[in-house]
Structure 1
Amino acid sequence: MDFETGTDVMLARREGRVAVLTFNRPEARNALHAETYEVFERLLPELADDPDVGAVMLTGAGGAFCAGGDVKGMNARNSGEAPSPASLETAVDDLRKRQRIVSGALQTFPKVTVAAIDGAAAGAGLSIALACDLRVASPRAIFTTAFAKVGFSGDFGGSWFLTQLVGAAKARELYLTADRFDATEAMRLQVVNQIFDDADFETAAISYASRFADGPLVAQRYMKENLNRALSADLLDCLDAEAMAMSRCRTTDDHKEAVAAFVEKRPPSFTGR
């Protein structure tokens, strides 16, 4: 089943209970486009409320994940061939909005999000992959912060996400050098969670995402909230929130089904309720 995106630069379909969103500018290594942000802004809230969607997978077409900003477009603006923001304040407001409707929305999305990286994830493209809950890669995946190469400081939360994943010292190195690293190094750094073979990468990635799409969705939502809160709250606040979430989960059909399945020694059949 396909979802209407209103553009060719971003495609969306459903495979089982996994919504697959695909960056689709292979001629530009899937660089970001104004219409990309519009799709995220409209579609993510719809997928959050869709009872037939249990997880979201983000990927790219044509052998790249996402190259981040369109460098050719930047050059056109800098040379006066394309319009630039009217003022610094306009540029700041616009970027703040775009960051929130993509990285902010992915990090707080109530269902599990998976970035499936089968090629280059660079600059803001890497930041967006890091905003997902989990990342899987093929052996040909390449990662780089890239910003230093074009005289930028970084956006879409990459500095925050990378610091959480690899620690401050390594995050500083990866940002300041903009060195490339491959899937094996990404796995060692815990930037990716799994590596799947090139030949059947998308199938394997969808199967991986399906594990969560077919799981206890209410419990997963509260797990995400707990883990996000743990980044900034103190222990007592986290304990209080865990108590509330556990008590709510106790009333769900999925909890009751899981307990019965455990006792009966069979796999549970979750409904997301």
Structure 2
Amino acid sequence: MSEVLIDDDAGVRTITLNRPDRLNALTSSIMAPLADACADAARDASVGCVVVTGAGRGFCAGGDLKEGGADKAVVPANSEVGSRTEQGFVRLRTFMETSRLLHEMPKPTIAMVNGPVAGAGIGIAGACDLRFAGRSASFLTAFDRIGAGGDFGSTWFWTKIVGTGVARELFLLGEKLSADEAFAKGLYTRLLDDEALRDETMIAARRLADGPRMGYRYMKANLNNAEDWAFEAALDAEALNMGLSTSATAMIWREKKKAENPDG
């Protein structure tokens, strides 16, 4: 059974973590294909929007400590590959490309949070542009429970999304939030009844996939720049990207119109 499922529908690619019996907790056997799936979605021109979700009743419970998490397959230290710590860093950083790709790929990404999300799962959700959650969803950083600092970009994303004060509360106190509490803090973009979650998420995803893709490409670039760049540099990029996006969109519309009316 594949632990990462891929589905394409009208320009929307849905990537589903498929370990429902473990609330889609992460091991190396799921993290490697997940990163590959995100890389493929990023470069596939037929994909206009990416949705990430979990099978069963949860989004992602974080690393599966009972099965060794990311470090299960790390071999003993030797002079060619370094210490166990070095190898663990390389492996985890490779798996964490999932978060970078979801955040940086030039197309909108949506986390469809269909249940509990914790640990590395909040990094994956935070990496997405939008987070649509069902009422059965919950939110838990969980890193304090294992004496860990955080991974999958979780501390970076949530500081950017909700500000340093709320992010420090989430991570240091480690309190589990209900869907309503998480929505009130701004962690979720939309809160929906569980039975409506998939349909409403797909309506938004198809709208994005059918929209001006080059416009979204440069819009997302501007939004990402705004997180770190100085104001003047961001203005320069906005001015450049405005010209690039509108000219690209106009060309696409002209080609579409010509295809619809070749004799016109």
* Equivalent in 11, 16, 20 of residue 5 of structure 2: 11
Q: Residue 262 of structure 2 corresponds to which residue in structure 1?
A: none
How many Å apart are 1:175 and its aligned residue? Answer: 0.6
How many Å apart are 1:15 and its aligned residue? Answer: 2.2
Q: Residue 209 of structure 1 corresponds to which residue in structure 2?
A: 205
Q: Residue 257 of structure 2 corresponds to which residue in structure 1?
A: none
Q: Map 1:175-186; keep pairs closer than 5 Å.
A: 175-186=171-182
Q: Residue 95 of structure 1 corresponds to which residue in structure 2?
A: 92
Task: Describe the superposition over 1:217-271 as per-residue Cα deviations: whole angstroms up to 9, x where unpaired.
Answer: 111111111111111111111111111111112212458859xxxxxxxxxxxxx
Distance 1:249 1:169 in 2: 35
Distance 1:98 1:91 in 2: 11
- C-alpha change, 1:233 and 1:72, in structure 2 (3 Å) is same
- Superposition CA RMSD, Å: 2.2
- C-alpha change, 1:255 and 1:140, in structure 2 (3 Å) is farther
* Equivalent in 111, 134, 140 of residue 138 of structure 1: 134
- C-alpha change, 1:170 and 1:17, in structure 2 (3 Å) is same
Task: Describe the superposition over 1:43-95 as per-residue Cα deviations: whole angstroms up to 9, x where unpaired.
Answer: 333323333321000000111000110021249x8xxxx65553111111211
- TM-score, length basis structure 1: 0.84
Task: Describe the superposition over 1:173-213 as per-residue Cα deviations: whole angstroms up to 9, x where unpaired.
Answer: 11112111112122211111111211132122111211211
Matched AA of 2:186:
Q
- C-alpha change, 1:203 and 1:37, in structure 2 (3 Å) is same
Q: Which runs of 5+ in 2 are unaligned?
A: 77-83, 255-264
Q: Residue 42 of structure 1 corresponds to which residue in structure 2?
A: 36
Task: Describe the superposition over 1:17-44 as per-residue Cα deviations: whole angstroms up to 9, x where unpaired.
Answer: 2100001001111011223233233333
Distance 1:28 1:244 in 2: 46
Q: Aligned to 2:51, what secondary structure does the other structure show?
A: strand
Q: Residue 245 of structure 1 corresponds to which residue in structure 2?
A: 241
* Equivalent in 60, 66, 90 of residue 60 of structure 2: 66
Q: Residue 271 of structure 1 corresponds to which residue in structure 2?
A: none
Q: How many pairs does the alignment contain?
A: 248
Q: Map 1:39-188; keep pairs closer than 5 Å.
A: 39-74=33-68, 84-86=74-76, 87-99=84-96, 101-188=97-184
Q: Aligned to 2:195, what secondary structure does the other structure show?
A: coil
Instruction: Give yes or no for contact 1:144–1:178 (8 Å, CA) kept in 2.
Output: yes
* Equivalent in 185, 189, 196 of residue 193 of structure 1: 189
The farther-off stretch of 171-180 and 111-120 is: 171-180
Matched AA of 1:73:
E
- TM-score, length basis structure 2: 0.87
Q: Which runs of 5+ in 1 are unaligned?
A: 1-6, 259-273
Distance 1:89 1:71 in 2: 19
Distance 1:43 1:17 in 2: 15
Percent identical residues: 37
